Amino acid sequence: MISSMTAFAREEYRGKLGVMSWEIRSINHRYLEAFVRLPEELRVLETKVRERLSARLGRGKLDCSLKFKPGKDAEAGLTVNQRMVEQLITADAEVAGILHMDSFVKPMDLLRWPGVLEEQERDFTPVKKQAMELLDVTLEGLLENRQREGQRLGEIIRQRRQAMQTQVDQVRKLMPEVLEKVKERIRTRLLEVMDELDESRLEQEMALLAQRLDVDEEMDRLDTHLAEVERVLSADEPVGRRLDFLMQELNREANTLTSKSNDVKITRIAVEMKVLIEQMREQIQNIE
């Protein structure tokens, strides 16, 4: 199934661990390039996040961010360093004795002292697990959005491909008439400037001219490339690069048709082909 590189997905978790949300934005890019933003306490997950992105996505520029607000189960508690408090009280009493003063140490003064309050080490294992599970859900949503957009792009490309096939068929129908008109036009001109006309020589010139104007090979290649476009659009794999290559080949044949054209109708059809190719190319730039 065709997948677009342009999509957005957001998923949120609310529970005992707190509130966390993943946001992933994807736009077209030649390769897979990911910008990952994580909270400081979860920065250790960056390598795993990148591996997960690489495993699910082939191309695109990704802006991937995680926001996290701890809940009660994820918040760290505070403990009092009793040994330090006792040492501070003892030191305060000694200093007060030296100065012949009473000691008036206040609890809040002790709490402000560096090292008195200690933050308990938090166990982020459940938070990390939840973050990666939520990432998988967000990625699934992103892939669904990319496939939905890719299906729309595929329909547009198919419409342009069919329109171009119609143009190719039209050229095939017109070519015998065009060649005959060219031959007649040249024959008339030669009769006007020559008293005696060598029929065999004329036929040779007509044959050479017809060969130069013959576009059967270009038409065959256009048919082949257009059939390949349809086949690729039905493939269950990333097809963006192959489609882009096919657009180059189609454009090359359309240019050759333009250069060989000796008829206004054929020239207009060739120009219309190039317009259709460019329209398909614009859509293909967003396909993975």
Map out the domains of the chain as residue ranges.
7-74+125-146, 78-119, 150-284
Provide the residue count of the chain: 288
- φ, ψ dihedrals at 117, nearest 5°: -95, 125
Average of pLDDT values for 96-107? 74
Which residues face 11 on adjacent strands? 22
Query: Going by C-beta distance under 8 Å and a sequence separation of 6 or more, which residues neighbour residue 8?
Result: 23, 24, 25, 26, 142, 145
Of residues 123 and 62, more confidence is placed in 62
Q: Give me 60's structure tokens.
A: 């695109």
Residue recorded with tokens 């454009």: 251
Q: Which of the residue ranges 33-37, 210-214, 232-236 would you say has the lowest mean pLDDT? A: 210-214
Cβ atoms within 10 Å, residue 150: 24
Q: What is the distance between the alpha carbons of residues 218 and 270, in angstroms, rounded to a whole number?
A: 11
- Contact 172/219 with Cβ under 8 angstroms? yes
Say what the pLDDT of residue 24 is.
97
**pLDDT above 70: percentage of residues in the chain:** 83
Asked if 243 and 232 touch (Cβ cutoff 8 Å), the reply is: yes
pLDDT band at 193 (very low <50, low <70, confident <90, very high): low
- What is residue 263's predicted lDDT score, i.e. its pLDDT? 77
Contact 245, 268 (CB under 8 A): no
Distance in angstroms (rounded) separating the CA atoms of residues 282 and 31: 17
State the number of CA atoms in the 13 A half-sphere of 40 facing the CB: 0
Beta strands in the chain (DSSP E): 7-15, 18-27, 32-37, 60-70, 78-80, 117-119
The pLDDT of residue 96 is 72
pLDDT of residue 78: 65
pLDDT bracket for residue 108 (50, 70, 90): confident
Report how far residue 143's alpha carbon sits from residue 123's, in angstroms, rounded to the nearest whole number.
32
Q: Distance between CA 61 and CA 30 in Å, rounded?
A: 8
- Please check whether residue 284 is in contact with residue 247, taking contact to mean a CB–CB distance below 8 angstroms: yes
Q: What is the pTM of this model?
A: 0.71
The CATH class for the domain spanning 7-74+125-146 reads alpha beta
Average pLDDT of the residues in 259-287: 89
pLDDT for the residue 183: 67
Question: How far is the first Cα of the chain from the last one, in angstroms, to the nearest whole number?
Answer: 10
pLDDT at 243: 94
Please state, in angstroms and rounded to a whole number, the distance separating the CA atoms of residues 100 and 89. Answer: 16
Question: What's the pLDDT band for 287 if we cut at 50, 70, 90?
Answer: very high
Q: Does residue 230 surpass a pLDDT of 80?
A: yes
